[in-house]
Amino acid sequence: MKNNIVLALTKGRILRESLPLLADAGVEPAEPIDATRKLLLATNHEDIKLAILRGADVPTYVKYGAADLGIVGKDVLLEYGSEGLYEAADLGIACCRLMTAGIPNRVSNVGTLRVATKFVNITREYFGKKGKQIDIVKLYGALELAPLMDLADVIVDLVDTGDTLRANGLIPFEEILPISSRLIVNKASIRQKTPFLLPFIDSLAKLN
């Protein structure tokens, strides 16, 4: 049995905020992440490696055991599902809100709402519970343009400071849920590598 541990990290803000947390737990990349194109990195522990992935791919790598653990936003877990995973801890990093947003006073009398988002499943469930009919326009970026160019009435997106919304003349409407980053674990790994994984999981979970 391999005792090596692979931790999958989400690119971008989650990665930036994960590294200090890992350092506090005694784990650091063997080389600066921003100075390499490698996606699988050694660390100062020969039995721990870091995989740098797109957020949507992190649960897949963990679910199928290619990675033992992962750090990923709660939004990704809700949108793509977390079957086969154990959510070990809320790390309290990369916090933001999943919200509806749009142009002020634009949608007050709209019947069927056209919603631009990449969070198709969360959006459908949210508006379904409100009894609101919607058409979903799936986009992967630049969501703020959709209301400005009449592609959609509102958007559903992650909001941190709200600066991008304001810069494009949009305002937040309703909070769907607060989002933070979670430590997820492969269920088979937690059984097979208990003596190696549990101390690492505990050290991360206690730091939030």
What is the per-residue pLDDT for 199?
A: 86
Residue type, 88: A
- Same domain? For 76 and 131 the reply is no
What residues contact residue 142 under an 8 Å CB cut-off, 6+ apart?
none
C-alpha–C-alpha distance, residues 8 and 51, integer Å? 5
When divided into structural domains, the chain yields a total of 2
Residues 178, 97: contact at Cβ < 8 Å?
yes
- Same domain? For 17 and 69 the reply is yes
What residues contact residue 121 under an 8 Å CB cut-off, 6+ apart?
78, 79, 80
- Same domain? For 86 and 111 the reply is no
- Same domain? For 90 and 11 the reply is yes
- Same domain? For 168 and 187 the reply is no
Structure tokens at 26: 């005694």
Per-residue pLDDT tens digits for 116-133: 999 999 999 999 999 999
Per-residue b or e along 174-196, where b marks 16 or more CB atoms closer than 10 Å to that residue's CB = eebeebbbbbbbbeebbeebeeb
In this prediction, residues 53-80 reach a mean pLDDT of: 95
- Same domain? For 90 and 9 the reply is yes
In the predicted model, what is the mean pLDDT of the chain? 92
C-alpha–C-alpha distance, residues 90 and 18, integer Å? 12
- Same domain? For 15 and 85 the reply is yes
Q: In this model, does residue 43 exceed pLDDT 50?
A: yes
Q: Where are the alpha helices (DSSP H) in 56-150?
A: 58-63, 74-80, 120-129, 145-148
For 163, other C-beta atoms within 10 Å of its C-beta total 9
Count of all residues that appear for the chain in the document: 208
Ramachandran region, residue 142 (left: φ > 0; alpha: ψ -120 to 50; beta: rest): left
What is the per-residue pLDDT for 1?
A: 39
- Same domain? For 23 and 103 the reply is no
What is the per-residue pLDDT for 198?
A: 87
- Same domain? For 10 and 81 the reply is yes
Q: Where are the alpha helices (DSSP H) in the chain?
A: 13-24, 58-63, 74-80, 120-129, 145-148, 163-167, 187-192, 194-205
Q: In this model, does residue 5 exceed pLDDT 50?
A: yes
- Same domain? For 88 and 30 the reply is yes
Residues 159, 99: contact at Cβ < 8 Å?
yes
- Same domain? For 113 and 189 the reply is no
C-alpha–C-alpha distance, residues 18 and 21, integer Å? 5
Domain membership of residue 71 as a residue range: 5-94+180-205
Q: What is the CATH number of the domain that holds 131?
A: 3.40.190.10
Q: In this model, does residue 82 exceed pLDDT 90?
A: no
pLDDT band at 205; cut points 50, 70, 90: confident
Structure tokens at 191: 């059984």
